[in-house]
Amino acid sequence: MDFELLLIILVDGLVYGSYLFMVAVGLTVICGVQKLLNVTHGALYAFGAYLTATLLILYFQVDWPQFGAFAVMLFAALFLGVFFGVIIERGLLRHLYHEDEHIIVLATFAAFLVLEDVLLLIWGTDPYLAPEPLGLLGSTEIAGLPFDNYSLSMVLLSAVVAAVLWYGLNRTQFGKLLLAVIYDRELAQAMGINVNRVFLLTFMLGSFLGALGGAYQAPAISVQPGIGVEVIVLAFAVVVIGGMGSIPGALIGSVIVGVARAFAVHQEPALELFVIYMIMAAVLIVRPQGLFAPAKPRTI
């Protein structure tokens, strides 16, 4: 294997890993704070892709600045994050926090199925294509192959999101509140922290990140039924590898999955999905809590 092929595999892996990170980090934020696996996250990704594709199609029918398409993506993700954050967290999860975690997972899975049907009712079964933003940033030649800068920008966007989340969690007052809730929910509430508000804001943030992943990916894919199912399975794999609730874990897990998938695609395409789940199984055997699982408080 020559250096050029390794470089192409690395670039492909980073691009794919960045796409997974945008979804997985929203999932791990919710999991870390609220201690629940939010299966509806896949539907939020799909809604982000569908709404963005629809708005972009309408946007490019009007003679407006082309780079305004990126503002359209951000608007779609923000709207969906706030809307579904309130609907799902206040309307469903708020009433289940004291139930067994398996009940919560089943409830979010049921909500996911409902949202998948809502997608079909609104957009039908036809694919939506909005590729115009792909050409706005040009392309770059790497190892003799052209890569569109739009896909490469996903790597930069993921790095910015990771840095902002790390700073927000470790250097801001709201981040300190989150850490208090993560380590001991009851004690945090006893100290005067409005845990319900923290949960709502956290779920809205996680929903925004999931929708942003779909919104930014929409121009690069054919937006069609089933994309939410595919991405939520891969995002769960990333979260399991990195560790539940760990933002650095989600980042490293995404890179591992992305590079492993790219290596399989270039060397043995039939093993594309097998490689991902093989890595997940190996990590679970060696370290069941994930590679970078946050430390748990000890009970004395």
Please tell me the pTM assigned to this model. Answer: 0.92
| pLDDT at residue number 193 | 86
Please give the span between the terminal C-alpha atoms of the chain, in angstroms, as a whole number.
54
| Six-digit token string for 33 | 């704070």
From residue 206, give the alpha-carbon distance in Å to each of 156, 230, 278.
19, 18, 27
CA distance 172 to 193: 15
| Six-digit token string for 113 | 């199925």
26 and 8 in contact (C-beta within 8 Å)? no
CA distance 145 to 261: 19
Which residue type is seen at 5? Answer: L
Report the percentage of the chain scoring pLDDT > 70.
97
pLDDT in tens, 10-64: 999 999 999 899 889 999 888 878 788 889 999 999 999 999 999 999 999 998 8
The mean pLDDT of the chain is 89
Tell me if residue 223 falls in helix, strand or coil.
strand
pLDDT in tens, 171-206: 888 888 888 887 778 888 888 888 889 999 999 999
Measuring CA to CA, which residue among 42, 19, 31 is closest to residue 199? 31
Domain range list for the chain: 18-226
Count Cβ atoms below 10 Å from residue 104 Cβ, excluding itself: 21
* Cα four-point dihedral sign 161, 163, 165, 167: negative
